[in-house]
Amino acid sequence: MPGRLLPSHPLADLFFILNEDELVLINCTGGFSSVVNQIAKSLVNWIAAEQHKPHGVVLAPLDESQKSTYDPVGKGVTVRGQEARKLLGGLDQWFPYRM
């Protein structure tokens, strides 16, 4: 199958190139506050070390502990709770059955 031999990214479940020089990394996690904060911190630290223009997004649909945040310096966005479920679109309908 195509893609089977390609390595996965250690911090992102999804990633894509935008405008040829910008990398968007998306991590979808089922974790709560401390896990979400650690993932967001790791993603921002990775972004700071990169040469091109990466952007990071953490989607945390289970984490209702804090509001969604944006780190303009680290170029990282953490979207939590209902906002994350809304961004997951059709997956939001599936979400209650998995919990």
| pLDDT tens-digit map of 24-52 | 888 888 888 898 889 888 888 887 787 66
Per-position DSSP letters for 48-95, written without gaps between them: HH-SSEEEEEEEETT--SS--EEETTTTEEEEEHHHHHHHTTTHHHHH
Percent of the chain with pLDDT over 70: 79
Q: Is the pLDDT of residue 10 over 80?
A: no
Which pLDDT does position 79 carry in this prediction? 92
Residue 20 DSSP class: T
Distance separating alpha carbons of residues 96 and 36, to the nearest angstrom: 20
20: left (phi over 0), alpha (psi -120 to 50) or beta: left
What burial letters (b/e) apply to 4-37, b meaning 16+ CB within 10 Å? Answer: eeeeeeebbeebeeeeeeebbbbbbbeeeeeebb
Which of these, 78, 98, 71, 94, lies nearest to 33 by C-alpha position? 78
- The domain spans of the chain are 14-98
